[in-house]
Amino acid sequence: MSTLLLEGGRLVDPVNDRDEVVDLLIVDGRVAEIGGALTAPEGTESVDVSGKLVTPGFIDMHVHLREPGREDKETVATGTRAAAAGGFTGIACMPNTNPVNDHRAVTQLVIERARQEGVVPVYPIGAVSAGQKGEALAEIGDLVDAGCVAVSDDGYPVATSQLMRKALEYTGIFGIPVIDHCEDCSMTVGASMHEGSVATALGVRGWPSASEEIVVARDLMLAELTAGKLHLAHMSTAGSMRLIRDAKARGLRVTCEVMPHHFALTHEACREYDTNTKMNPPLRSEDDRQALLEAIADGTVDVIATDHAPHHADEKALEFDRAPFGIVGLETAVPLVCTHLLSEHIGVRRMVELLAVNPARVLGLDRSDNGAGGFPRGLGDLAVGRRANVTVIDLEAHRTVDASKFESLSRNTPFDGVELTGWPTLTVVDGEIVWRHSPEPTSR
């Protein structure tokens, strides 16, 4: 019997409407008891988390592990270590690997690697279309059976309206969402950043917000037509927020996510041609940033995810227009949320919804195991008897981002050297401490 006692933390559990300073006792990977001054059984490891925030484990539903295919950028092992170090107790990984996760064998490989070498559970996302080519549907039933929790052609949009329609209809069989990367690629050829005054001053080809919003609008119409479960990835524009807000007001079944870099930075960050400010969708204008902040606060945005996209330093040491898109995000997301959103825009409860409750719900991980392959489910809250996945955060901690110390194999972040306030200190998966901030005196 393994036991762990988290003592004296502020437990914020929105699903169970709990926000109080209590002890949390975990026995055999499950929440055993919640209350004041609990007495733990003999041999229990006790961790003093007084003054800290204790929440249901955070889930990053948008991660690119590069395994299989580009293990020089990230592996399941290093990616899950980065997740744990960032306060995430689970991640969902996108299918744009090599080969693409459009077949059970790839899904199983990722899950098997995660079981052997991973630190936190990995919930694969399968491809919508075979080879992500935007033509035929992938064998989605087989993918779901092997453990995929959603489908997406991320990296690319679902190529055509007809394919999106069919995907939304077909996934209804399994109750999984279709996650779309919204980009009208006819408008983004050769473009490297947001179209506007900064791109013009830099002489870099940009693409406008409209190229995202056109596909958002298409997807919303198709979600309405099909009653499918639509999740819109990495939303970056004010127009997207308006479209989604209106759609939700009309009762459409749509959810969406926003990335920390899109609420923390604007295209002004690209001024020095730093390729670590190049991502897709690109950093947008200040008006867009403000619209995202408002949408995060008012509930239009359901999830904060990272779009963790590791790239080797050699690939990023190129001319701006030749470097690949993407930045790593797992190890900076929580402090960016705490620093940029907490107190000014949202409270702690909403933060936990965005990082734990809602990602679990969107991916169906809140429900108990459904017999499919992969890692166990039943996540997003800490009621007695639930899986004990816990994130502990020190909201007062000031630390400077040091990319050289990342657990991730890649270092491509625009936040290196930035001081942030509010950092994870302890990550618990199924009652086991999988990561703790080292200088922190955590046991006695």
Partner 1 sequence: MPSAELAGQQTPSVTHAFACKDLIGIEPLSVADITAILDTAVSFRRVSERPIKKVPALRGKTVVCLFFEPSTRTRTSFEIAGKRLSADVQSISAATSSVVKGETLFDTARNIEAMHPDLLVLRHSSAGAAKLLAKHCSAAVINAGDGAHEHPTQALLDALTIRDHKQTFEGLRVAIVGDIAHSRVARSNILCLSKLGVQVVLGAPPTLLPAGIEDLQDGLEVHHRLEPAIEGADVVMMLRIQVERGGSMNIPSRAEYARLYGLNATRLALAKPDAIVMHPGPMNRGVEITSEIADGPRSVILEQVANGLAVRMAALYLLCGGNPAHVDTAA
Residue numbers at the binding site for partner 1 (CB under 8 A): 195-206, 208, 272-273, 314, 317-322
Cis peptide before 99 (omega within 30 of 0): yes
Nearest distance from C-beta of residue 273 to partner 1, angstroms: 3
> What is the smallest separation between the CB atom of 279 and partner 1, expressed in angstroms?
16
Q: Which is nearer to partner 1, 107 or 209 (CB)?
A: 209
Which one is catalytic: 60, 288, 307, 366?
307
Q: How many CA atoms, within 13 angstroms, populate the side-chain half-sphere of residue 81?
A: 14
Positive or negative: CA dihedral 359, 361, 363, 369 = positive
Least Cβ distance, residue 168 to partner 1 (angstroms): 31
Nearer to partner 1, 2 or 197 (CB): 197
381 in active site: no
User: At its nearest, how many Å lie between partner 1 and the CB of residue 301?
Assistant: 26
Nearer Cβ to partner 1 (37/317): 317
Secondary-structure percent of the chain, ordered helix, strand, coil, rounded to 5: 30, 25, 45
For strands 3-13 and 18-27, give the pairing.
antiparallel
Nearer to partner 1 among residue 202 and residue 372 (C-beta):
202
Q: Which residues of 62-85 are buried (b: 16+ CB within 10 A; e: fewer)?
A: bbbbbbbebeebbbbbbbbbbbbb
Cβ pair 58, 356 in contact under 8 A? yes
What are the C-alpha distances in Å from 290 to residues 167, 181, 259? 33, 21, 14
Q: Provide the token pair at 277.
A: 């400010």
Q: Which is nearer to partner 1, 137 or 187 (CB)?
A: 187
The residues, any chain, with a CB within 8 Å of residue 46's CB and separated by 6 or more, are 4, 5, 7, 40, 443, 444
Shortest spacing between CB 206 and partner 1, in angstroms = 7
Q: How far apart are CB 311 and partner 1 at their closest, in Å?
A: 14
Which of 208/310 has CB closer to partner 1?
Answer: 208
Residues 327 and 325: their CA atoms lie apart, in Å, by 7
CB 99 within 8 A of CB 105: no
Query: How would you class 303 by CB atoms within 10 Å of its CB: exposed for 0-12, middle for 13-18, buried for 19 or more?
Result: buried
Give the residue numbers annotated as catalytic, written as ranges. Answer: 307
